[in-house]
Amino acid sequence: MIPVLGYEGRRVAVLGLGRSGLATARALVAGGAEALCWDDSVEARERAEAEGFALHDPMAPEGFAGVACLVVSPGIPHLYPEPNRVIERAWEAGVPVDNDIGLFFRSLGQGDWMEFDTPPRVIAVTGSNGKSTTSALIHHILVENGTPCQLAGNIGRGVLDIDPPEDGGVIVLELSSYQTDLARALTPDVAVFTNLSPDHLDRHGGMGGYFAAKRRLFAEGGPDRAVVGVDEKEGRSLANQLVEDPEDMRLIRVSSGQKLGGPGWNVFARKGFLSEYRKGRQVASIDLRDMAGLPGAHNHQNACAAYAAARALNLPPRGIEAALRSFTGLPHRSQLVRERGGVRYVNDSKATNVDAAAKALQAFPRIRWIAGGMGKEGGIAALAPCLGSVAKAYLIGFSARDFALQIGETPYEICETMEIAVAKAAAEAEPGDTVLLAPAAASFDQYPNFEKRGDAFVAEVEKLA
């Protein structure tokens, strides 16, 4: 646990008592604060009370009297589409609003770890797609090269629930826009921006607000090194804002699919080869093509970002390459479930938006595509250029018929359920085909989350064996 510092003897309200909320309450108490806990869910309040936490309704009269700070869970909207009423009450009372990420950075900076020979460092990863894989890959590279490392944030453990870092330790954080948008302190040593595509736009009041939430990771604290994907205009704009001149080595630009030039520090992948250039000269190259845990151009982009973050900590290229080769990937993210009769079955349930699905559809030569669920605004018409490798689509869920109208001449079948889709795709697949779950939609019509949807796909594939 990372005890929260700076609130000793003071009252701090905690709103939202899920995983991060309860971890925050524990860390506040460990740091000497009094945690006042609340959640609209009776069950959540009962769990907190069973741990001995005081329940306190901030909407009660004088609910913010004597409260030094309100800490809210990431899922609670604080501005768009409408502010949560408790947050509005905090504004009226002049009580600062923060989240567990802000408390983490505030407390890490005040700890006694600066007395170590090598102070702990934090690598924070944000972006629309690939941030989980990139974060896990950075963690894997560091561990494989003997660096004490913990993975936390939007993946792994809650940030305040991890162990105090040891001498020379590194903490890798995956941070969503919900987390970066509100944190009052953001001071990573290395910050990574993977890419940007439309997502969570209602929560951020549009694309500009969404990008602004991501940009805060680089603007608030000023990382020592910034790794920025420049394949979209937002990334190029961010990279430009971070440099003093073209040779500024505090920035590492990253791309998948284009060669990056100029006198700065660049890492890019083309035709399956990762290259690192500094001051116009190539210093390393890695063949990614046969790495089973990193299929497709989108995973090559993840590999470039992870490689760049590891190089920012001075790890050697050959050590990074060995770790890349041993990486097996994450569940639900281009996860190879099984190969049977020359047919691969790949679970990319995390491809919940058009951009992520497009990357998955470009990773394999001949695809039996399982798609559908709760479609997002704009549908999937933008996927038309990526459907050339799709032999047939097997559509499931609420938006199955809407999707069928948007895929042009691509053969399709309305399957409704995962069970039917997998069985149909398996029956029609030929050697060399890939049965790919890349839904391009949310899961909430049939499953509580993308993980459960991916588990359902895996279960149906296992039945085939």
Please, what is the end-to-end C-alpha distance for the chain in angstroms? 43
**177 among the known binding-site residues?**
no
CB 257 within 8 A of CB 270: yes
**452 among the known binding-site residues?**
no
**133 among the known binding-site residues?**
yes
**132 among the known binding-site residues?**
yes
**128 among the known binding-site residues?**
yes
Torsions phi, psi of 377, nearest 5?
A: -55, 135
The set of residues, in sequence order, having a beta carbon less than 8 Å from that of 285 and lying 6+ positions away, is 273, 274, 275, 276
**328 among the known binding-site residues?**
no
Could you give the CA distance from residue 278 to residue 441 in angstroms, rounded to a whole number? Answer: 40
Alpha-carbon distances of 431 from 69, 115, 356, 426, rounded to whole Å? 60, 59, 26, 11
Beta bridge partners of 69: 12
Residue given tokens 């041993």 in the structure block: 326
Alpha-carbon distances of 261 from 258, 275, 278, 284, 366, rounded to whole Å? 10, 12, 10, 15, 33
Question: Which residue, 238, 215, 379, 225, is CA-closest to 308?
Answer: 225
The set of residues, in sequence order, having a beta carbon less than 8 Å from that of 268 and lying 6+ positions away, is 253, 254, 255, 256, 257, 258, 259, 260, 274, 275, 277, 304
CB 453 within 8 A of CB 349: yes
Q: Which amino acids are annotated as binding site for ATP, given as ranges? A: 127-133
Q: Which amino acids are annotated as binding site, given as ranges? A: 127-133
